[in-house]
Structure 1
Amino acid sequence: MTTLLDYCSLVRSKNAGPFTLTFDFMCHDQAAYDALVATGFLNPTLFATLYDADPGQILVVNHPLALAVKVSLPRPTVQGDLRDTDCYAGQQYAPLMDMDVTPA
């Protein structure tokens, strides 16, 4: 099984303001970046399914010079809301870590 850690040296999630959740996937090297992007794994449908979001509101941006991919989407709840279980959004990447990343 291939996971994100086979491609990335850093995977993180965080707030991008009180209404937006963002994920950073920073690859080991050019070959890992090219391979990860080629899988098509990091796509709006995946994040819509995992985070109950509208795929049309999910932005996936490839940053080839930084060997990184950034994904942003609306937070499920506003930061600091009584139903907010992760105020800093630092744990939101966890469901992605054990998933099998297979080529498209």
Structure 2
Amino acid sequence: MPETTAARTLADLAHEVRAKNAGPFWVTMEVFLRDDEGYRIAADESFLDERVIAELYRVEASTVQIFRIPSLRVVKISFPRPVGQGSLRDRDMHAGQHHVPLARLPVTRPERA
């Protein structure tokens, strides 16, 4: 992929970034990384941690769960839905659009040691 001046995002490192309903009270998102380098960046706690997810989704950091699965190059993230599924204020009943802020998360090029 040629270098561009546009900022890289987490979606650029991934085959797929998706969100899905994990029951009436939880959302789960998965990031399937293209290669080991992408996984190394995405799984790094200094890049993606509970605090980052809490800021992106306006939830308490203590409620965020992050699972890093190196053998599959997957990062899985779960947190409570802001409102119960199907409630009057639910704007995304299937949680299918929750992945967008995560996919757009800017990735800075890591410094080489």
Residue 27 of structure 1: aligned partner: 33
The runs of 5 or more residues in structure 2 that have no matched partner are 1-6
Give SS of 1:65's match.
coil
**How many residues end up aligned between the 2 structures?**
104
Give the Å deviation of 1:28.
0.5
The TM-score, its normalising length taken from structure 1, stands at 0.89
Which of 77, 92, 95 pairs up with 1:86?
A: 92
Residue 99 of structure 1: aligned partner: 105
Q: Is the 2:41–2:47 Cα contact (8 Å) retained in structure 1?
A: no
Structure-to-structure mapping, 1:1-12, within 5 angstroms: 1-12=7-18
Which of 43, 52, 62 pairs up with 2:58?
A: 52
Q: Distance in 2 between matches of 1:98 and 1:24?
A: 14
Which of 51, 70, 81 pairs up with 1:75?
A: 81
Percentage identity across aligned positions? 38
The TM-score, its normalising length taken from structure 2, stands at 0.83
Task: Give the number of the structure whose residues are more often helix, by fraction.
Answer: 1
Q: Is the 1:13–1:24 Cα contact (8 Å) retained in structure 2?
A: yes
